[in-house]
Amino acid sequence: MSKKEKAEELKEKLFMKKENCWDIQSDEKDQIFDFAEGYKHALNIGKTERRFIAYSVEQLEKAGFQDISQFEKLNAGDKVYTTMHDKTLIAAIVGEEEPSKGFNMVGSHVDSPRLDLKPNPLMEEEELVYFKTHYYGGIKKYQWLSTALSLHGVIYLSDGKKVEINVGDDPQDPVFTITDLLPHLDKHLRSKKVSEFVNPEKMNLLIGSIPYPDTEVKDRFKLGILNLLNEQYGLTEIDFNRAEIEIVPAQMARDVGFDRSMIGAYGQDDRVCAYTSLEALINSKAGKRTIAILFADKEEIGSEGNTGAQSDIFLYQLNHLHEMILGREPKRREIEEFYMNTNLLSSDVSNVFDPNYAEVSDPLNSSYLSKGIGINKYTGAAGKSSTNDAHAEFVSYVLNIFAEHNIPYQISELGKVDWGGGGTIAKYFAKTGMNVIDSGVAMFAMHSCFEITSTFDVYNAYRAFIAFLNN
């Protein structure tokens, strides 16, 4: 063996490999592309947290899962789910072991950055009718101008009747938009910082321009629209006070690239992890440990509120599950052991290395497109503040599962040190004593109206969650 050959052999033995997964798993192409079809469908009908929860419940019921209220006691093999406020979900397959031995869980969030209607949204200005909006989560505001938008949500009428609004996704529907200024006349704005370029008070959604046909009455353009809404939904202006209506891109999920190797869609953060974990649970069988998935809301605004991961509502529901499996009230110690023995993959998206913005990432500690599930030992910002930093023993446990099942993974950080950062639901569940680590699909253009994932990585996340849950 020559000196060079020997060095090559040593390198092969000692160096870490980061191969492009289309090379190593090209034989799985059919499954990968089939899986993407179901995923795109779910993204298209589940563009808000409420719609995604409704979709998930439908899928779970089709697969034999039942609402927890249908059970008096839970036994090994039972498939159960529970939702809270139509925005969060826990679903589980009960295992043989007692709950104090812990569950294997995958947790993600089902809300995405968007625009919400203000509580008093309806406005007429210069013979045009608008909805006033308030953005939700970390958006780059300019991305929401001059694009087709749809409306989804609920309104409660004064008699208590719930009205669902879903307009703009069906190709036959009208859409809505926020107008941008023409480049011919935007000189006075060009020197502004991007963060100041769009005034959020001017992010008004254009919803109509035909007046009510009585030329004497004031505000007759607003009256024209409200009259239409009253005819169609029975609502009056005050009913918007009792509404939750979200504005999201009307664009549907699409394949991206000549080779269709990527998926472009709104709301993949974090429904890519929610969908893949839902499919992983549905396609799992009962085993020794209880396995579960958890969907949280409000992650994009800091996991606040009684549907966000900071809420004790998740713990109440997990304790309830514990009690239903035991058939009696668990002792305090059993509850503590349950949390300390539970393994949770906090599954959320990360950024991929983008050659167009290479300056924000450390190439050695980045996730790359189609190189497997991204693992973040920690997230946070400014010296690991505000994060769960998984201990080496748990990292090792998770990596061994992935290695054993031949699941490509990559460990990365969210950008260069001190360049920014972000958080997930991980630290809130770590507070309970659970073993938690962040993992998920890495993407381009996170929080935009058209986020990009690798078709391979989506399918690979599904395989990763199956392996983790059933370990």
Task: Give which of 168, 309, 129 is closest to 246, Cα–Cα.
Answer: 168
Q: How far is the CB of 137 from Mn ion (least distance, A)?
A: 7
Q: How far is the CB of 425 from Mn ion (least distance, A)?
A: 8
Q: How far apart are CA 446 and CA 299, in angstroms?
A: 14
Residues that bind Mn ion (CB under 5 A): 269-270, 348
Q: Which is closer to Mn ion, CB of 348 or CB of 457?
A: 348
Calculate Rg over the CA atoms of the chain. Answer: 24
Q: How far is the CB of 387 from Mn ion (least distance, A)?
A: 14
Q: How far apart are CA 254 and CA 452, in angstroms?
A: 10
Q: DSSP string spanning 86-105?
A: TTEEEEEE--SS-GGG-EEE
Q: How far apart are CA 466 and CA 471, in angstroms?
A: 8
Q: Which is closer to Mn ion, CB of 270 or CB of 279?
A: 270
Three-state SS letters, 144-155: HCCCCEEEEEEE
Helix (H, G, I), strand (E, B) or coil at 33: helix
Q: How far is the CB of 318 from Mn ion (least distance, A)?
A: 21
Q: How far is the CB of 108 from Mn ion (least distance, A)?
A: 8
Residue 191 amino acid letter? S
Sheet with 162-167, edge to edge strand ranges: 162-167, 149-156, 243-249, 114-125, 128-136, 205-208
Q: Which is closer to Mn ion, CB of 114 or CB of 222?
A: 114
Per DSSP, 54 falls in state: H
**If you search the block for the tokens 């249908």, which residue do you land on?**
70
Q: How far is the CB of 298 from Mn ion (least distance, A)?
A: 11
Rounded to the nearest 5°, which phi and psi values hold at 28? Answer: -95, 10
Q: Which is closer to Mn ion, CB of 316 or CB of 419?
A: 419
Q: How far is the CB of 176 from Mn ion (least distance, A)?
A: 23
Q: Which is closer to Mn ion, CB of 93 or CB of 253?
A: 253
Q: Which is closer to Mn ion, CB of 46 or CB of 224?
A: 46
Q: How far is the CB of 385 from Mn ion (least distance, A)?
A: 18
Q: How far apart are CA 175 and CA 471, in angstroms?
A: 46
Beta strands in 147-289 (DSSP E): 149-156, 162-167, 205-208, 243-249, 254-256, 262-265
Q: How far is the CB of 136 from Mn ion (least distance, A)?
A: 11
Q: Which is closer to Mn ion, CB of 49 or CB of 270?
A: 270
Q: Which is closer to Mn ion, CB of 59 or CB of 424?
A: 424
Beta strands in 199-349 (DSSP E): 205-208, 243-249, 254-256, 262-265, 290-296, 343-347
Closest residue to Mn ion in the complex (CB): 270
Q: Which is closer to Mn ion, CB of 337 or CB of 438?
A: 438
Rounded to the nearest 5°, which phi and psi values hold at 106? Answer: -120, 125
